[in-house]
Structure 1
Amino acid sequence: MAKVSSTKGAGKTQMTGNAAVRIQSSTAKANAGKVSSGTFAARAQTAAATKQKSSKK
């Protein structure tokens, strides 16, 4: 049986606000202006907001 590797959590690069904006913009353009919850774009925005909130403490 082939070994399957997971990339989840493999990277250590934090999501920046600018990166989240680019991802969300691209997703919205591709989906008639809509970004559904649960998509990668939505998760990226949440991660960037969480990072920004924790850095202000």
Structure 2
Amino acid sequence: MPDSKSKPMTTDAAARIQSTEARNSGTGQVQSGGFASRAQGAAATNINQGTTQHQGGKK
């Protein structure tokens, strides 16, 4: 059975989501209020609440 615990949205995960959505949109942009936008907002909220830390750039 899969682990039912959810993980908080991170900035790296949100960036991957945005990149994929922009690539697949045909316009190179993400939809305002779409999933990628909400993911970025969730990541920012998690950083502000101390749930996660900012993860910077490519390694």
Structures share a fold, TM > 0.5?
Answer: yes
Unaligned runs of 5+ residues in structure 1 are: 1-9
Among 13, 24, 32, which residue is 1:19 paired with? 13
Out of 42, 45, 49, the residue aligned to residue 47 of structure 1 is: 42
Partners of 2:36 and 2:46 in 1: CA distance: 15
Partners of 2:5 and 2:19 lie apart in 1 by 23
Give the secondary structure class of the aligned counterpart of 2:41: helix
Q: Kindly indicate whether structure 1 or structure 2 has the higher relative contact order, using CA contacts under 8 Å at least 6 residues apart.
A: 2
**AA of the residue aligned to 2:40:** Q
Aligned length: 47
Q: Give the greater-gyration-radius structure (CA).
A: 1
TM-score of the pair, normalised by structure 2: 0.68
| Whole-Å separation in 2 of the counterparts to 1:36 and 1:19 | 17
Gaps of 5+ in 2: 54-59
What is the identity percentage for the equivalent residue pairs of Structure 1 and Structure 2?
47
Q: Distance in 1 between matches of 2:7 and 2:32?
A: 23
Are residues 1:35 and 2:13 paired? no
Runs of 4+ deviating beyond 3 Å = none
